[in-house]
């Protein structure tokens, strides 16, 4: 597979390393508006074809897959450009600014006969993957309750200062990952309610979010995210799990310790940590997941199947993000409630509908 990468910023370096590690793929071209970034990538990774204009890169061709590692505002025009040139597409998250854009991108790539995958890598972290595989394998019977938690005080703004500037922050940037993990564990969602807060006065968006999910198969799941949590030791960037099933419990605790316990059976505890040699703390498990999801994409194409986080699948995760923001917006009290009753103004409950409708 010959790959072209668009965007050579902070996170794209992980993707370039991932392509170096992948079997059956090679990066042949890179594109970025900043010539200095292109020079550094060329020196570090030996990619000889560099461009400052994506249209010029597509016109020259010579690749069959494009990896789009740019910010969300550019995703739709770049994905549609790729579709017009008939290449497979990997697109960084968040996939789209609106549901309309997401569906348009999915339709454009489907019409071209190519494959679209969203770079939703958290579910490919080895610790989370071990938990997902154990749950799918029936290790604790049928799950009925879950909690997926990411709480940290790590300074993510130093490397990505634009995160402090948007009206939306933690749900759109981090919560989307955690919601996707919940879908990987428990399936699609029927109903979602959410609350948000901003603790850090130096940012524009929310940095704390708590979401309650009712999954279609009956699982109740709490998804909670925070970048305002002061804890020692710091657990960034670990996601922690608590899952109860009809046949036992599963826990993924800090330090990547996975515990499975069943009645009458031994308590099985193991380290779910497996990192590639080049990984550097604290980003090690994320860097590993990048390599794993990119290999998954290569393998999926070779096998003629859709990747797990295809564009069509990720529309459902993006819908949860939109539903969470909808739910978290304060609403007025219903007409049958008076202020004198002492009830606070309720928040709307977002009900997930079919994919062709808005949440």
Which pLDDT tens digit goes with each residue over 276-311? 556 566 666 788 899 999 999 999 999 999 999 999
Q: Is residue 17 part of a domain?
A: yes
Residue 138 token pair: 């029936």
290 inside domain? no
Asked if residue 196 belongs to a domain, the reply is: yes
The reply to whether 321 falls in a domain is no
- Residue 108 sits in the same domain as residue 178: no
- Averaged over 175-179, what is the pLDDT? 96
CB neighbour list of residue 299: distance below 8 Å, 6 or more residues apart:
24
Q: Are residues 174 and 36 in the same domain?
A: no
CATH code for the domain of 236: 3.30.360.10
Domain boundary, last residue among 282, 314, 341: 282
Same domain, 36 and 60: yes
Looking at the structure, tell me whether residues 89 and 238 fall in a common domain: no
Which of these three, 234, 261, 282, is where a domain ends? 282
Least trusted range by pLDDT, from 52-56, 114-118, 155-159, 277-281 = 277-281
Check if the beta carbon of residue 147 is closer than 8 Å to that of residue 224. Answer: yes
Domain closes at, from 282, 305, 340:
282
pLDDT given at position 5: 98
- Whole-angstrom CA distances from 292 to 21, 45, 86, 271, 280 are 9, 19, 25, 18, 16
pLDDT band at 155 (very low <50, low <70, confident <90, very high): very high
Cα→Cα distances 254→39, 72, 152, 228, 236, Å: 39, 31, 12, 18, 9
Supply the pLDDT for residue 198. Answer: 96
Tell whether 37 is covered by a domain: yes
Return d(Cα 52, Cα 268) in angstroms, integer: 53
Average pLDDT across the chain, whole number: 89
Q: Please determine, for residue 336, whether its predicted confidence score (pLDDT) is greater than 90.
A: no
Residues 20 and 105 in one domain: yes
The residue among 356, 354, 359 whose CA lies nearest residue 323 is 359
Q: Domain count of the chain?
A: 2
Judgement on whether residues 34 and 155 belong to the same structural domain of the protein: no
147 located within any domain: yes
Query: Is residue 94 predicted with pLDDT exceeding 50?
Result: yes
Q: What is the CATH number of the domain that holds 72?
A: 3.40.50.720
Cα→Cα distances 35→31, 38, 61, 317, Å:
9, 5, 20, 35
Contact yes or no for 159/99 (Cβ under 8 A): no
74 in a structural domain? yes
Domain identity same for 39 and 162:
no
In terms of domains, do 100 and 157 share one? no
Does 147 share its domain with 54? no
The verdict on 130 and 267 lying in the same domain is yes
CA–centroid distance for 253 within its chain:
20
Whether 170 and 207 map to the same domain: the answer is yes
Q: What is the pLDDT of residue 354?
A: 40
pTM of the full predicted structure?
Answer: 0.86
Cα separations in angstroms, 175 against 9, 210, 327: 22, 9, 14
295 occurs within a structural domain: no
Torsion 185-186-190-193 (CA) sign:
negative
Range of the domain at 275: 123-282
Helix axes 284-303, 12-21, angle to 10 degrees: 50
153 and 271 share a domain?
A: yes
pLDDT tens digits along 181-223:
999 999 999 999 999 999 999 999 999 999 999 999 999 999 9
């Amino acid at each position: 597979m010959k790959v072209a990468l668009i965007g050579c910023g902070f996170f794209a370096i992980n993707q370039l390393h991932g392509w170096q590690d992948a079997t059956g793929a090679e990066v042949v071209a890179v594109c970025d508006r900043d010539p200095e970034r292109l020079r550094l990538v060329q020196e570090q990774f030996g990619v000889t074809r560099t461009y400052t204009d994506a249209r010029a890169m597509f016109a020259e061709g010579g690749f069959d897959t494009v990896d789009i590692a740019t910010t969300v505002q550019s995703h739709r025009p770049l994905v549609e450009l790729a579709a017009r040139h008939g290449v497979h597409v990997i697109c960084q998250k968040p996939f789209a600014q609106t549901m309309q854009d997401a569906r348009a991108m999915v339709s454009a790539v489907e019409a071209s006969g190519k494959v679209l995958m969203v770079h939703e890598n958290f579910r490919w972290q080895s610790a989370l993957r071990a938990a997902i595989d154990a749950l799918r394998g029936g290790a604790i019977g049928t799950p009925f309750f879950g909690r997926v938690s990411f709480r940290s005080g790590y300074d993510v703004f130093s490397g990505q200062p634009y995160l402090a500037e948007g009206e939306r922050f933690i749900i759109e940037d981090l919560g989307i990952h955690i919601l996707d993990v919940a879908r990987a564990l428990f399936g699609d969602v029927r109903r979602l309610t959410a609350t948000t807060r901003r603790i850090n006065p130096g940012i524009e968006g929310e940095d704390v979010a708590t979401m309650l999910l009712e999954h279609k198969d009956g699982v109740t799941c709490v998804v909670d995210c925070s970048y305002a949590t002061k804890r020692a030791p710091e657990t960034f960037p670990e996601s922690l799990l608590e899952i109860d099933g009809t046949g036992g419990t599963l826990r993924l605790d800090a330090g990547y310790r996975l515990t499975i316990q069943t009645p009458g059976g031994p308590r099985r505890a193991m380290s779910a940590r497996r990192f590639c040699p080049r990984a550097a703390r604290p980003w090690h498990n994320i860097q590993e997941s990048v390599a794993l999801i990119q290999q998954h994409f290569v393998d999926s194409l070779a096998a003629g199947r859709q990747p797990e986080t295809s564009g069509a699948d990720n529309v459902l995760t993006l819908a949860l993000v939109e539903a969470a923001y909808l739910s978290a917006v304060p609403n007025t009290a219903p007409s049958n409630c008076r202020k004198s009753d002492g009830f606070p103004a309720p928040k709307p409950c977002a009900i997930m509908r079919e994919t062709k409708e808005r949440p």
